[in-house]
Amino acid sequence: MNELHIDKTHWKRTKIGDLLYKTEYNDKENASKQYSKFIKMEHLDANSLNIHRCGDSSVEDIPPTFYKIFKKGQILYPTRNPQLRRAALASFDGICGEKTLTLSLIEGCEGYIPFIAHVFHSSAFIEYATNARIGSTNPHIRWRDVADYESPAQGRAEAPCRAALGCRRGGGEGEEGEGKGGGIQILTCLINHIKWV
């Protein structure tokens, strides 16, 4: 497998909130009627942005606090138990629990995707998030604290990384395009190959 060894010496410190924004699409009455797929913490794998399984309302009950709608392409970040290193890129529309953040890229920040993926699973962020939790019964980290976290970053990494790794956007054979989840294909390709130093 090819690996990219990235020197971050000259990168600028960037806050998560400068790259992502939180959305709140809550629908207590209709969410479970509109979407059959839902995501619990146990559906997510540690240190992976890929979602390999999910709940299905046709075969199991949806928990009562699950009414937040997420869209394909959003980052899902459960705010409880950050030490479990769970964060994922949604590959479908569905619903999740009220304490899961649903985050979208700010326009023009697509090149920071490798940085964002790295940060959510990094030891430094996990320590920060664990220490920033509030609440005694169900401790969790607030979005404003997540947004305030900063780390060295270099933007516009997507194109050179894709060229170096031979990754293509989805589309017809030999084409570059956005079809068939191209952005997600690029992201998973980058995450599987980048080695951070």
Q: According to the model, what pLDDT value does residue 186 have?
A: 44
Radius of gyration of the chain (CA): 17
Q: According to the model, what pLDDT value does residue 157 have?
A: 46
Please report which residue ranges of the chain form alpha helices under DSSP H.
Answer: 31-34, 113-120, 123-131, 143-148, 158-165, 182-193
Tens of pLDDT along 101-137? 999 988 888 777 777 878 888 899 999 999 999 988 8
Q: Please report which confidence band the pLDDT of residue 164 belongs to, taking 50, 70 and 90 as the band edges.
A: very low
CB atoms within 10 A of CB 182: 17
**Beta-strand relationship, 37-39 and 94-97:** parallel
The Cα–Cα gap between 15 and 116 comes to 10
Q: According to the model, what pLDDT value does residue 137 have?
A: 84
The Cα–Cα gap between 87 and 109 comes to 19
Average pLDDT in the chain: 77
- pLDDT average, residue stretch 25-38: 92
- Can you list the domains of the chain with their CATH numbers? 4-196 (3.90.220.20)
CB atoms within 10 A of CB 13: 8
